């Protein structure tokens, strides 16, 4: 593997464990997560975070507590090499292609550029997803004749532009029915244009791949109609957000975007497509499980299990599911007061677990002094495991630009890791959330 860009070290600042209003069932204090901010982040490190149940919203990284939250968030991924489009997904793509090309083009192109008998037979019996998503793209068509519309898809830097903001404003206001006063350029920039992931190119197994955060832009007749916000990582295409203009709602752009992202993973060798969190308790979010084969990350063991009918049935019966616990004969007992019925609330995406600076509705934690490693949060090191597996003394720090190790701090040896108001307590929580390997690869940053 060759690196073409020198990347800054991973620098994280702990925020802590807190609750927030849920964007899925509207519980005002039912979503629980552990949070950090990232000053700098590498694609490789972030890939490892995804595989431990983390996600990002702007520069905020968060790990949901599936055991305590009202609507548990499960990390899922799809093998792009094994993907087979469903009938509904095929129909959505085919209808859109016909809309872009138009009847006149389709008839004339069949006359001027006829398929061979073998090609026609293959097309009628085999849905090649790579071929079909590119079928109506301007620049790849046989011309003449001219199609009814032009359609272009470009992968662009995740920079702010007025064109993107106009699309975002329309999507949030019309599709998500968000109050206009809550939609701001500042919020858009923080949410979708402030990634800590640098853009670079690297070679894996002889194939060059782009890494970092990008906007995949869809334009019809020159107008920006949709944007997929993507993190391109060493082994996956990670979907951050997808937005589209109300004028193309009837074309099923959510599904079109998913197909396009799966094809990107397949064509460029990323292999896996991470669709974001799967929220089984929210009906509108279950569509992610319709793309198969999907695998769900076990919140305790960090192993992957097929997201099949059996697993979905288990999720119908219990909101928290850890198959590794079941195999070990352990019974999950979530806090009954947080049990909620299936909801058809809005399908707002990944920032639904991130604290809203403008909200005063969140109830304070009932036990704010309890350390993360004492909360029985899935996948988090216990205090005993933390002391056995992590040397807190040697964790690297950056304090106002000065580099040091934790043991060099005044009062470190006498500090109490159970005290969350102390630096030692904050560092211990972060280490428990990252695990013994990742904690060696980052710097804890205090400004």
The CB density around residue 87, as the number of other CB atoms within 10 Å, is 8
Please tell me the pTM assigned to this model.
0.91
| pLDDT of amino acid 57 | 95
Inter-CA distances, 428 with 118, 330, 380, 423, Å: 64, 27, 11, 8
pLDDT tens-digit series, residues 277-323: 999 988 777 888 899 999 999 999 999 999 999 999 999 999 899 99
Higher pLDDT, 311 or 9: 311
Residue range 331-386, pLDDT digits in tens: 655 443 334 443 333 444 444 556 555 555 556 787 889 999 999 999 999 999 99
Q: Residue 278: beta bridge partners? A: 74
Nearest Cα to Cα of residue 385 among 396, 394, 372, 397: 372
CB 342 within 8 A of CB 281: yes
Distance of alpha carbon 105 from alpha carbon 147, whole angstroms: 5
* 3-state SS assignment for residue 35: strand
> Is the separation of the CB atoms in 241 and 39 below 8 Å?
no
Residue 423 CA to residue 227 CA, distance in Å, equals: 40
Strand partners, 35: 16, 62
Name residue, tokens 């319709």. 290
């Amino acid at each position: 593997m060759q690196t073409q860009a020198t990347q800054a070290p991973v620098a994280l600042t702990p925020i802590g464990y807190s609750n927030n209003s849920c964007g899925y069932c509207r519980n005002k204090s039912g979503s629980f997560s552990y949070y950090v901010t990232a000053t700098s982040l590498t694609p490789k490190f972030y890939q490892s975070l995804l595989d431990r149940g983390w996600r990002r919203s702007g520069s905020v990284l968060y790990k949901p507590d599936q055991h305590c939250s009202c609507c548990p968030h499960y990390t899922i991924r799809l093998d792009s090499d094994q993907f087979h489009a469903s009938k509904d997904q095929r129909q959505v793509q085919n209808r859109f292609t016909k809309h872009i090309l138009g009847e006149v083009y389709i008839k004339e192109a069949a006359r001027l550029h006829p398929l061979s008998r073998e090609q026609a037979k293959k097309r009628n019996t085999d849905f090649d997803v790579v071929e079909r998503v590119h079928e109506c793209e301007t620049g790849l068509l046989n011309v003449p004749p001219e199609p009814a519309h032009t359609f272009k898809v470009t992968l662009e830097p995740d920079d702010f532009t007025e064109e993107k903001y106009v699309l975002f404003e329309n999507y949030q206001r019309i599709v998500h029915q968000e109050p206009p006063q809550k939609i701001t350029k500042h919020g858009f920039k923080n949410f979708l244009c402030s990634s800590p992931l640098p853009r670079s190119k690297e070679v894996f197994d002889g194939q060059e791949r782009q890494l970092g955060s990008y906007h995949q832009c869809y334009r019809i007749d020159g107008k920006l109609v949709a944007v997929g916000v993507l993190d391109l990582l060493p082994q996956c295409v990670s979907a951050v957000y997808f937005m589209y203009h109300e004028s193309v709602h009837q074309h099923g752009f959510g599904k079109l975007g998913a197909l396009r992202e799966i094809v990107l993973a397949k064509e460029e060798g990323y292999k896996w497509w991470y669709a974001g969190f799967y929220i089984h308790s929210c009906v509108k979010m279950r569509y992610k499980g319709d793309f198969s084969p999907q695998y769900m990350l076990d919140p305790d063991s960090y192993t992957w299990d097929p997201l099949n009918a059996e697993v979905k049935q288990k999720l119908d019966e219990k909101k928290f599911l850890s198959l590794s616990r079941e195999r070990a004969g352990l019974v999950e007992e979530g806090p009954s007061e947080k049990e909620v019925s299936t909801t058809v609330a809005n399908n707002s995406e990944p920032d639904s677990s991130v604290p809203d600076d403008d909200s005063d509705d969140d109830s304070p934690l009932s036990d704010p002094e309890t350390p993360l490693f004492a909360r029985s949060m899935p996948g988090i090191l216990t205090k005993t495991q933390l002391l056995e597996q992590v040397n807190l003394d040697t964790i690297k720090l950056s304090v106002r630009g000065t580099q040091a190790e934790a043991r060099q701090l005044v009062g470190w040896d006498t500090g109490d890791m159970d005290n969350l108001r102390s630096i030692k307590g904050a560092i211990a929580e972060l280490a428990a959330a990252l695990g013994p390997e990742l904690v060696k690869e980052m710097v804890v940053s205090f400004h």
